[in-house]
Chain A
Amino acid sequence: EADIYQTPRYLVIGTGKKITLECSQTMGHDKMYWYQQDPGMELHLIHYSYGVNSTEKGDLSSESTVSRIRTEHFPLTLESARPSHTSQYLCASSGTGTGPYNEQFFGPGTRLTVL
């Protein structure tokens, strides 16, 4: 089993609230990622990080922000949640190697509903 954790698993919140989705991994991986996925739809990369103090935007534009102050921790923040942010958010990490061993490990996801 991969050692990557996300909290909360489920969050129902009102419009305009600030939220932070937590993601942590104990594998010492340098690379971490945030994906957004609606039910039955494809994964969309919204943020990634090479390592501490490195953050980049992904392929899908997102109003969320991320930080990477510690290797093991990659939180995602929405300053003002809106119903359009309702989705599943998946965090992943991978090591620094190349080739067929550098797979991504996923956390269980946070299912966010904004009312």
Chain B
Amino acid sequence: RKEVEQDPGPFNVPEGATVAFNCTYSNSASQSFFWYRQDCRKEPKLLMSVYSSGNEDGRFTAQLNRASQYISLLIRDSKLSDSATYLCVVNEAGGYQKVTFGTGTKLQVIP
């Protein structure tokens, strides 16, 4: 089983739709969590950190469920510009704080 798992998609959604991605992680000692966005042939860029109580940034909402070991990303009112691959990132506790990237979920917003 992979340490961090995501559905690769693609998720094809119409403009204006709401879409949600989940990401599961296997290490219960994982400490911090992030969502990154990666456009085609570009570097990943931080979309948002995921706080224990959940957090929102405009149309984006991130949630953490420690009991079930997953994080989620909800995108409301999808825009064409949201089309990208969304990477789930999990940091472990400890001296090195191993960082594990998920394989990514591809989102295509269609007009």
Chain A residues engaging chain B, CB cutoff 8 angstroms: 31, 33, 39, 42-43, 45, 48, 50, 88, 90, 94, 98-109, 111
Residues of B within 8 A of A104 (CB): 44, 46, 89, 99
Pairwise interchain contact A100-B50, C-beta atoms closer than 8 A: yes
**In the complex, A48→B95 CA distance in Å?**
13
Could you tell me how many residues of chain B have their Cβ less than 8 Å away from some Cβ of chain A?
Answer: 25
**In the complex, A43→B100 CA distance in Å?**
9
Chain B residues engaging chain A, CB cutoff 8 angstroms: 31-34, 41-46, 49-51, 87, 89, 91, 93, 95-97, 99, 101-104
Pairwise interchain contact A103-B49, C-beta atoms closer than 8 A: yes
Pairwise interchain contact A99-B32, C-beta atoms closer than 8 A: yes
Instruction: Give the dominant DSSP class at A's interface.
Output: mixed
**In the complex, A58→B32 CA distance in Å?**
20
Given the known interface contacts A42-B101, A42-B103, A43-B101, the answer about A102 and B41 at a Cβ–Cβ threshold of 8 Å is no
